[in-house]
Amino acid sequence: MSLPIRNVAIIAHVDHGKTTLVDALLKQAGTFREGEDVPDCVMDSNDLERERGITILSKNTAVRYKETLINIVDTPGHADFGGEVERVLGMVDGCLLIVDANEGPMPQTRFVLKKALEKGLRPIVLVNKIDRPRADPHAAVDKVLDLFLELGADDDQCDFPYLFASGLEGYAKETLEEEGVDMQPLFNAFLRHVPPPVGDASKSLQLQVTTLDYSEYVGRIVIGKIHNGTIRVGQQAALVTETGEIVKAKISKLMGFEGLKRIDIEEATAGNLVAVAGFANANIGETITCPNEPQALPLIKVDEPTLQMTFSVNDSPFAGQEGNFVTSRQVRDRLMRELETNVALRVEETDSPDRFLVSGRGELHLGILIETMRREGYEFQVSQPQVIYREVSGQPCEPFENLVLDVPEEAVGSCIERLGQRRAEMQNMMVSPNGRTQLEFVVPARGLVGFRGEFMRLTRGEGIMNHSFLDYRPLGGDIEARRNGVLIAFEEGTATFYAMKNAEDRGSFFITPGTKVYKGMIVGEHNRQQDLDLNICKSKQLTNHRASGGEELVQLQAPIDMSLERALEYIGPDELVEVTPKSIRLRKVTKKLAKR
């Protein structure tokens, strides 16, 4: 007899402790053997997730508690990866909304909660990090209720159960007065408040594909929930594609989830989450069903992208020196392969075979794709991100974002001033006793392009910035263009200390002496509004005369570190970011230099 099942998604704003909490649940359930070396955030399995401390891809795990199988889906908290959240919510019957006891609901909390309520789920609220100083758990619960009402939750959803927890310390409790011991209260809440999956094992098979994986041994693996029927290894099945075509195949492998592992199983019935091999061309949203009476489930719909940029073949003077995959065919094939698993991404071919228009949810969404490709050995160049405009009821509209800033008191005025210039409207302002202020704005998405670097300067690195897509609204008017001009290399060669020291009063550099540069490459930011061409490779003429003071130690100012995200935010409309496995370079689209 199969075990009772509960399918739960864990949703929250980025950095509110989802993945740490899953670690505590896995340890409590005995997933790890005694003495096993377990890394923190064990569900964040790829290198980029570990480096950045964020969840990018949704992942499945399963634990057994009181003879019940609890399938847990860990989802990303960042709105740029909302496509991951939207598709997995169809796999579950309940969700756990995690809120920081100090910060309360944040922009992405609103985003993920809205998606859960639209699916008709009744969330369990968990106020996390109650062991932190300045935590106010009851105030956080009140703010969550306000958010539920604001998002139009029904009476049943507003009467949500809530618990208090510390994922780091590994305990949950129903009241603050209790002593926190372990995660048992949360497991009990799953059993009480998450309904068992609805499905009929006697009906025809219906399994919806929500995630794709790949194995060198069995090929493409599809992961999804069985809505109806029973699936067995070796049985004949049919895939109903997005276009309505029916493709017949055999189930070559069937796997269930246990802890962090997939285990081979012979059969599974309605309500289970399973991984299936045998369908080489299955895509997300399609249905695996009976070949005799194929019945497709509704396709998964996700919000449309709001930002786009052009990916093109690298044509700089240094092209092909550092990458393994440099041709337009290789770049195109890689982008098309990404479309198979990244449901929120769009790729369009342009009138040039060397350029592709790639649309995504935000700078981070596209930035992660670019970083992943460069680590795989791809070399290409990308343009400045541009927002995607739409026509709504015959009127041109643009995407607006809900922006929340947490800033030191002395930076409040400058942040409000700069956002005002970017067409932002302030909605709320809260001053906390610890000398910090929370500011809430509605701002056009194009007003945020390039703002993060400026924000970090205004707050001296102490500010926290979060934003999520709000809706499309009529155009917000002109926005002041970025920044000062740039310093451009005048010729190809190697940057010298002598030339850089002489030009130091002209601006700030992005490079160090010894860096190879080419004509048209951006090497720094000018102090003034216009661009300036520099001979950055000029060397000192040596003589046999010893200069007075020649023994003094002369140093350059530290260069500005241009990471990929910073470069994408920084570049202007006539500039590109050249991306290779070893380098991130900025350059002008046209290499016309001023007459000297």
Give 222-259 pLDDT, tens digit per residue. Answer: 888 888 888 888 888 888 888 888 888 888 888 888 77
User: What pLDDT does 83 receive?
Assistant: 57
Between 430 and 54, the higher pLDDT residue = 430
186 with 240, same domain? Answer: no
155 with 69, same domain? Answer: yes
513 with 394, same domain? Answer: no
Question: Among positive and negative, which fits the CA dihedral 442, 84, 51, 36?
Answer: positive
Cβ of 431: how many Cβ atoms within 10 Å? 11
Indicate whether 481 belongs to any domain: no
Indicate whether 252 belongs to any domain: yes
152 with 77, same domain? Answer: yes
| Residue 269 and residue 196 in contact, taking contact as beta carbons nearer than 8 Å | no
Give the domain-ending residue among 193, 227, 259. 193
User: What pLDDT does 38 receive?
Assistant: 41
Is 467 known as a binding-site position? no
Q: Is the pLDDT of residue 50 over 70?
A: no
Q: How far apart are CA 405 and CA 414, in angstroms?
A: 12
Average pLDDT, integer, range 255-274 = 83
503 with 420, same domain? Answer: no
User: What pLDDT does 158 receive?
Assistant: 85
Q: How far apart are CA 470 and CA 476, in angstroms?
A: 14
Is 225 known as a binding-site position? no
Between 283 and 586, the higher pLDDT residue = 586
Q: Per mean pLDDT, which range of 35-49, 126-140, 382-396, 577-591 is the poorest?
A: 35-49
38 with 138, same domain? Answer: yes
| Residue 472 and residue 392 in contact, taking contact as beta carbons nearer than 8 Å | yes
Indicate whether 428 belongs to any domain: yes
531 with 500, same domain? Answer: yes
Is 592 known as a binding-site position? no
Q: What is the CATH number of the domain that holds 439?
A: 3.30.70.240
Q: How far apart are CA 355 and CA 310, in angstroms?
A: 7
**Domains identified in the chain, total number:** 4
Is 136 known as a binding-site position? no
Band (523; pLDDT cuts 50, 70, 90): very high
Indicate whether 594 belongs to any domain: no
Is 16 known as a binding-site position? yes
User: What pLDDT does 55 receive?
Assistant: 43
Indicate whether 361 belongs to any domain: no
Indicate whether 415 belongs to any domain: yes
456 with 551, same domain? Answer: no
Is 545 known as a binding-site position? no
Is 437 known as a binding-site position? no
What does the block give as tokens for 170? 């590994």
Cβ of 417: how many Cβ atoms within 10 Å? 10
User: What pLDDT does 84 receive?
Assistant: 60
Between 148 and 17, the higher pLDDT residue = 148
Percent of the residues in the chain that have a pLDDT greater than 70, as a whole number: 86
Tell me the C-alpha to C-alpha distance, in Å, between residue 341 and each of 58, 366, 379: 11, 14, 22
109 with 231, same domain? Answer: no
Indicate whether 503 belongs to any domain: yes
User: What pLDDT does 310 receive?
Assistant: 93
| Residue range of the domain that includes 511 | 486-588
**Per-residue burial over 512-549, b = 16 or more CB atoms within 10 Å of its CB, e = otherwise:** ebebbbbbbbbbbbbeeeebbbbebbbeeeeeeeeeee
285 with 176, same domain? Answer: no
3-state secondary structure of 394: coil
Q: Is the pLDDT of residue 596 over 50?
A: no
492 with 570, same domain? Answer: yes
User: What pLDDT does 33 receive?
Assistant: 41
Cβ of 261: how many Cβ atoms within 10 Å? 11
Dump strand ranges (E) for 246-368.
Answer: 246-250, 253-258, 261-264, 267-269, 273-277, 287-289, 307-312, 346-349, 355-360
Band (407; pLDDT cuts 50, 70, 90): confident
Please give the full DSSP string across 104-133, using - where no structure is assigned.
BS-HHHHHHHHHHHHTT--PEEEEE-TTST
User: What pLDDT does 90 receive?
Assistant: 77
| Residue 284 and residue 211 in contact, taking contact as beta carbons nearer than 8 Å | yes
User: H or E stretch including 334?
Assistant: helix 328-341
Q: Tell me which DSSP letter residue 504 carries.
A: G
Q: What is the CATH number of the domain that holds 210?
A: 2.40.30.10
Q: What is the CATH number of the domain that holds 188?
A: 3.40.50.300
Tokens 């981070």: give the residue: 364
User: What pLDDT does 86 receive?
Assistant: 66
Long-range contacts of 390-396 (CB under 8 A, 24+ apart): 390/472, 392/472, 395/474, 396/474, 396/475
Q: How far apart are CA 70 and CA 181, in angstroms?
A: 21
Cβ of 394: how many Cβ atoms within 10 Å? 5
Indicate whether 413 belongs to any domain: yes
User: What pLDDT does 270 receive?
Assistant: 86
3-state secondary structure of 30: coil
Residues facing residue 254 across a β-bridge: 276
Is 327 known as a binding-site position? no
Give the domain-ending residue among 255, 272, 289. 289
Instruction: Report which residue type is found at 116.
Output: A
| Residue 402 and residue 107 in contact, taking contact as beta carbons nearer than 8 Å | yes
What does the block give as tokens for 288? 């695996």
Q: What is the CATH number of the domain that holds 545?
A: 2.40.50.250
The model's pTM = 0.70
Average pLDDT, integer, range 289-305 = 80
Q: Per mean pLDDT, which range of 41-50, 139-148, 262-271, 398-407 is the poorest?
A: 41-50
467 with 527, same domain? Answer: no
How far from each other are the two terminal CA atoms of the chain, in whole angstroms? Answer: 84
Is 20 known as a binding-site position? yes
Is 131 known as a binding-site position? yes
Which among 345, 339, 337 is positioned nearest to 366, based on CA atoms?
A: 345
Band (314; pLDDT cuts 50, 70, 90): very high
Average pLDDT, integer, range 367-383 = 91
User: What pLDDT does 21 receive?
Assistant: 79
User: What pLDDT does 330 receive?
Assistant: 93
User: What pLDDT does 378 receive?
Assistant: 93
User: What pLDDT does 311 receive?
Assistant: 94
Between 135 and 44, the higher pLDDT residue = 135
Give the domain-ending residue among 140, 160, 193. 193
Tell me the C-alpha to C-alpha distance, in Å, between residue 484 and each of 490, 507, 528, 532, 535: 19, 10, 5, 11, 19
Tell me the C-alpha to C-alpha distance, in Å, between residue 158 and each of 8, 155, 230: 19, 5, 35
Cβ of 176: how many Cβ atoms within 10 Å? 12
